[in-house]
Amino acid sequence: MSARPGFPDETGVLVVGGGPVGLVASALLSQHGIPNVVVERRLETQRAPAAHVLRRRPMEVLRGIGVEAAIRCAAPELPLHYITWCAQLGGAEIGRLDLRSGLAPGEEAWTNCPQNLLEPILLERASREPAARVLRGCECIAIEQDADGVSARLRADGGAEWRVRARWTLAADGASSPTRRALDIPMRGLGPQGRFFMIHFEADLVPWIRDRPGPIFWILHPEASGTLIVHDPRRSHVFMTLRRGDDGERAGLPDRLAAALGVSARARILSLDEWSPHVQVAERYREGRVFLVGDAAHRFPPSGGLGLNTGILEVDNLVAKLAQVESGRADPVILDRYQAECRPAAEANARQSFENMLRLGEISRQIGDSPDLPALEQRLASLTRDERRRLAAAIEAQRGHFLWEGQPPGTGSEREPPPSAAAAQDRRGQGSRAGVRPA
């Protein structure tokens, strides 16, 4: 099995997986002058928006590799002012959480850049480095390691196979990580928490968003409940809704989406996928010279947007250590600190993501069950002043869900909880901006 013509048969680091975390790892390695090879089985970059929240610390990492300006340029124009709860996008509004509370004028709670826009930026950045080679349409099908390095067998889409030898390997090959499974590293935590449809669709929703701009609308329609994620108000959105298991359910999803929106705009479905949230962290982050990073190391519910951000901080942590070892400035024993510093942070972020998901149910519990949309609208119209107060408090209690930065690596196993409503008010010196509006 010979080397691929024009492709190195030896490198410093093999990165298995060319998603955002793997590409950030490659750019960081190149900055340190460490030769690296990235292999990615997909021929094209991500099409669906997927992850879209970039927190402040990960943005510092992205600034360090020189892509911040490109990210901000690519990010759709969408002020991140509110998180909104409503019966339908075009129907009765239940309440809003004002994300601007405590921020400087013009400052955003996070950077909103969907993965389908972020990934091409990172691919271009990684690919232009002389120290890096990025090969798409190629997968790692087997790895063997010894005291000096890792031998990987690669296979291209056309079936050709060859080997690459690397001193170290980073497994950034996603939540189902074949590399992790090959290393027999189990995931610890909760398995599937329900099953959801993810509908990526195109529509101009500006008329229903412009007066309450924000990235997320929680739809409480009894027959079409779900989460509307606004990536680009004029064209790109995702609706996530629970899979009920009914016969012919997929065929009825366009009608469910239309009911959730309740607007005159026509929605054109671009893709439809199924997924299940997990709350899991790998039992160990290292096996010899192979390290798990990103979703290969942990699987979080999307509530809180911590998955991609945790992965970016992990590779920043790991590459800094690899650079010290590769330059001879540190003993390889420092690489043992990668798990000690990053795994507790991932566990804390996994717990918080799960708690965020559970806490969201409090808004529905305050309102109670309704058999259909007219009954929900009647219930909202009849809320007492005390019920509205409790509902406003339940919405304000979600603040940490959207504003907590997550626990970064290297801060120990004690979790920093998101701010409570009272603590947030104390620090900001102003009252809550969560409001419940009449139906």
Q: What is the pLDDT of residue 7?
A: 72
Helix (H, G, I), strand (E, B) or coil at 194: coil
| Each residue's pLDDT tens digit, 177-204 | 999 999 999 999 998 888 999 999 999 9
Q: Maximum distance among all alpha carbons in the chain?
A: 75
Mean pLDDT across 323-338: 96
Query: By C-alpha distance, which of 231, 241, 234 is closest to 203?
Result: 234
Q: What's the whole-number average pLDDT of the chain?
A: 90
| Each residue's pLDDT tens digit, 62-119 | 999 999 999 999 999 999 999 999 999 999 999 999 999 878 887 888 999 999 999 9
Position 2 pLDDT exceeds 60: no
Helix (H, G, I), strand (E, B) or coil at 130: coil
Separation of alpha carbons 424 and 134, rounded Å: 45
| Each residue's pLDDT tens digit, 413-422 | 333 333 333 3
Separation of alpha carbons 371 and 381, rounded Å: 16
Beta bridge mates, 219: 86, 226
> 43 near 138, Cβ under 8 Å?
no
Q: What percent of the chain has pLDDT over 70?
A: 92
Q: What is the pLDDT of residue 363?
A: 95
What lies within 8 Å, CB to CB, of 376 at 6+ separation is: 87, 92, 220, 221, 222, 367, 370
What sign does the dihedral 342-348-351-355 (CA atoms) show?
negative
Separation of alpha carbons 197 and 243, rounded Å: 6
Full set of structural domains in the chain with CATH: 10-70+113-190+279-351 (3.50.50.60), 78-109+194-276+369-397+409-439 (3.30.9.10)
